[in-house]
A and B are shown apart, each in its own frame.
Chain A
Amino acid sequence: MEKEQLGLVLAELFPTLEINTSGDSVRFKADTADIHKIAAVLRDDKRLQFDYLFNLYGVDREDRFSMIYGLESTILGHIVVIETDIADHDNPIIDTVSDLWKTAQYQEREVYDLMGVKFTNHPDLRRLFLEDGWGFPLRKDYKDDINFIER
């Protein structure tokens, strides 16, 4: 589907959201609480069929966290990027999408391991690479007294 057409379908499905079609790919921002509901619609709607979650990552914006999801439909060939802000920087929590796309199981574990974002309803939210009690190294305020050289 073409970008503009995809934008129209999305606007019809989610009338309250602002769909941005000006960039390379269609993007929109959603509320954290709605993310699972929106994701399910994107995957299951016959006109969209986003069956492939090609990327999922977190960004530490110091006052909040952002989660960014990149979705592609391998059937219809279009792409959408969803961003959501988790306002609580001290205890970021968001719903898992691992029940919709299996690849999210590990990607969410990675985000949890390195950023400390917790995913509710995740089937196996253990740390992926680091040991328990390590801290969350990709947070901007992470300090490592031994290996960091402050300039």
Chain B
Amino acid sequence: MQEVELSDILTAREDGDYIVNIGPQHPSTHGVMRFVVSLKGEMLEYVIPHCGYIHRGIEKMCERMTYPQIIHLTDRMDYLSAHMNNEAVSLLVEKATGVEVPERVKYIRTILSELQRIASHQLWWAAFGMDMGGLTCFFYGLRDREHILDIFEESFGSRLLHSYVCPGGLMGDIHPNFQKRTKEFIKYFRKKLPEYDQLLTGNVIFEQRTKGMGIMSKADAISFGATGPVGRGSNFACDIRKKFPYSAYDKVDFKEILYTEGDSWLATKFVLTKCGNQ
């Protein structure tokens, strides 16, 4: 079988197209992602992404490790949402070995996942705003993310890579202050949401650069497997917490937010609404 070469794809394009290299650029990790784009005038016709050498070989390392050891690798899969990655592997190991965890653990895991998710979204919208030229977004987003990281630090001794959720339960109990501080944070955070709306989604510069941009149809979102905010901005109901509730998600009442237009602005709006919804 003939392997496809990049040059074949490029020469197969129609005459009159410009082939331009963009990057290496930042979105995944500094200096790795590169796009070769084919342009007709100002319209993008085709993109060939080059992921760079970003594979960490975690699967291969897992072949030689015990399950509790693997947990420490899963933190690094997405260092902004370590808890969820820890939990995903823990749930799998528990299912395979038939281990039942206590109810308390399930509730703690769920609360942690939600806090972690908000922290992760905070950094995302903050950096997105910054990339669009709104540096204020970055400061405000990170300011409020700090509150969550402080709560984490108190309970688990670390701010990012906790390795706190492990097969069979948790590494230890939460700090006595956890409950109080989390309640305080929720009160504080709700008040901040309109601020984000003013800064980012209500900002005319941001709106002009994202509304009607990068539209993905629902059928495409499903076919490409574009889950998360991208998919739900395109009206693809893919919330795993609703579809296959794990830990204590079956006991929580929350709405799955869906938008229909499928552009970048709504995907952003979606993330912010999701923060406020829980």
Residues of A with Cβ closer than 8 Å to B?
A: 51-54, 74, 77, 93, 101-103, 114, 118, 120, 122-126, 128-131, 137-138, 142, 151
Residues of B within 8 A of A102 (CB): 220, 223-225
B187 part of interface (Cβ distance < 8 Å): no
A-B contact pairs, 11 of them (CB 8 A): A52-B223, A54-B225, A93-B1, A101-B225, A103-B225, A123-B4, A124-B4, A126-B3, A126-B5, A129-B54, A137-B60
What's the minimum C-beta distance from A19 to chain B, rounded to whole angstroms?
A: 22
**Would you call A124 and B55 a contact (CB within 8 A)?**
no
Q: Is the CB of A129 within 8 A of B53?
A: yes
The answer on a CB contact under 8 Å between B60 and A74 is no
DSSP majority for the A interface? loop
Q: Is the interface of B mostly helix, strand, loop or mixed?
A: loop
A residues within 8 A CB of B6? 126
How far, in Å, is A63 (CB) from chain B's closest CB? 18
| Least Cβ–Cβ distance between A113 and chain B, in angstroms | 8
Asked whether B225 lies within 8 Å of A53 as measured between CB atoms, the reply is: yes
**Does B238 reach chain A (CB closer than 8 Å)?**
yes
Residue of A nearest to B60 (CB): A137
Which residues of B are in contact with A by a Cβ distance under 8 Å?
1, 3-6, 9, 51-55, 57, 59-60, 64, 219-220, 222-225, 236-238, 243
> B55 — which chain A residues lie within 8 A by C-beta?
114, 129-130
Report, nearest first, the 6 A-B pairs whose CB atoms are least far apart: A103-B225, A129-B55, A102-B223, A102-B224, A52-B222, A124-B4
Of all chain A residues, which has the CB nearest B6?
Answer: A126
A125-B238 Cα distance, complex, nearest whole Å = 28
Q: What A residues does B225 contact at CB under 8 A?
A: 52-54, 101-103
Whole-angstrom distance between the Cβ of B168 and the nearest chain A Cβ: 21
CA–CA, A122 and B3, complex, Å: 9
- In Å, the complex CA distance between A103 and B237 comes to 17
Q: Specify which chain B residues have a CB less than 8 angstroms from the CB of A142 in the assembled complex.
A: 60
Q: What 13 new A-B contacts, CB under 8 Å, besides A103-B223, A126-B4?
A: A52-B222, A53-B225, A74-B222, A114-B59, A118-B1, A122-B4, A123-B4, A125-B4, A129-B51, A129-B53, A129-B54, A129-B55, A137-B57
How many angstroms between the C-alpha atoms of A53 and B238 in the bound complex? Answer: 13
